[in-house]
């Protein structure tokens, strides 16, 4: 079974001070084991070129692509993370094959159970708190949903949305296997230093 533990890094070029490539290098220096390339703003060609560069940097860790199964296949990523409105899970699995990782965004216990039943490798629970990074992510679910999902499914749970150093411990204590805190990291002068603060909460 696919394992998640610790800080899960997701790129966000519009918030980044140094750019996605620099941020990924800093994330690896901080000991991150999973990197997700998310880019909602560039052309497909630009995404491919940047994803290919990041794939080369992430040779020894898990590299996932957000939304775009075509980009993931083109750069030989380890898998994708998809959500509502993206290519359906079954179609993504047919294209990616049985050995690549597929994570699904969920907003309820029912969706988490459905994701597990479909064969997803992990779920991303979103949003936990109010977030400005993704304004269309919906109403905050709170840490109670993490507890409920952990009791209902056996696959790993990543938490995202409004997480920072003031509330990350609460999220981990609720059972999250991994946490994503984008703006709390990429907007800071030293990305690696900030990630290490989150990693320390996991005992890393």
Q: Where are the domains positioned within the chain? A: 6-201
Looking at residue 137, its pLDDT comes to: 60
| Residue 160 near residue 124 (C-beta atoms within 8 A) | yes
Decide which of 3.20.20.70, 3.90.79.10, 3.30.43.10, 3.30.750.24 is the CATH code for 6-201. 3.20.20.70
- The backbone region for 175, taken as left when phi is positive above 0, alpha when psi lies in -120 to 50, beta otherwise, is left
How far is the C-alpha of 84 from the C-alpha of 102, rounded, in Å? 14
For the stretch 138-165, pLDDT in tens is: 688 899 999 999 999 999 999 999 999 9
Please return the burial class of 36, using the count of CB atoms within 10 Å of its CB with bins 0-12, 13-18 and 19+. Answer: buried
Does pLDDT of 13 surpass 90? yes
- Residues 6+ away with beta carbon under 8 Å from 86: 67, 92
- Residues 6+ away with beta carbon under 8 Å from 201: 168, 169, 172
Average pLDDT taken over every residue of the chain = 95
For the stretch 71-100, pLDDT in tens is: 999 999 999 999 989 999 999 999 999 999
The model carries a pTM of 0.95
The residue that leads in pLDDT, 138 or 10, is 10
Q: How confident is the model at residue 55 (pLDDT cuts 50, 70, 90)?
A: very high
In sequence order, what are the beta bridge partners of 122? Answer: 103
């Amino acid at each position: 079974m696919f394992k998640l533990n610790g800080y899960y890094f997701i790129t966000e070029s519009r918030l980044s001070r140094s750019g996605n490539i620099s941020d990924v290098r800093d994330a690896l220096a901080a000991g991150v084991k999973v990197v997700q390339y998310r880019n909602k703003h560039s052309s497909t060609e630009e995404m491919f070129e940047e994803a290919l560069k990041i794939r080369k940097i992430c040779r020894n860790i898990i590299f996932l692509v957000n939304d775009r199964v075509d980009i993931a296949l083109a750069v030989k990523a380890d898998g994708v993370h998809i959500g509502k409105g993206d290519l359906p899970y079954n179609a993504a699995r047919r294209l990616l094959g049985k050995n690549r990782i597929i994570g699904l965004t969920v907003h309820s216990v029912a969706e988490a159970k459905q994701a597990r039943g479909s064969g997803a490798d992990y779920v991303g629970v979103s949003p936990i708190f109010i977030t400005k990074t993704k304004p269309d992510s919906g109403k905050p679910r709170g840490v109670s949903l993490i507890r409920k999902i952990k009791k209902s499914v056996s696959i790993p749970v990543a938490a995202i949305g409004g997480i920072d150093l003031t509330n990350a411990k609460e999220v981990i204590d609720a059972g999250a296997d991994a946490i994503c805190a984008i703006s709390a990291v990429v907007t800071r002068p030293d990305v690696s230093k900030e990630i290490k603060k989150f990693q320390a909460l996991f005992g890393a």
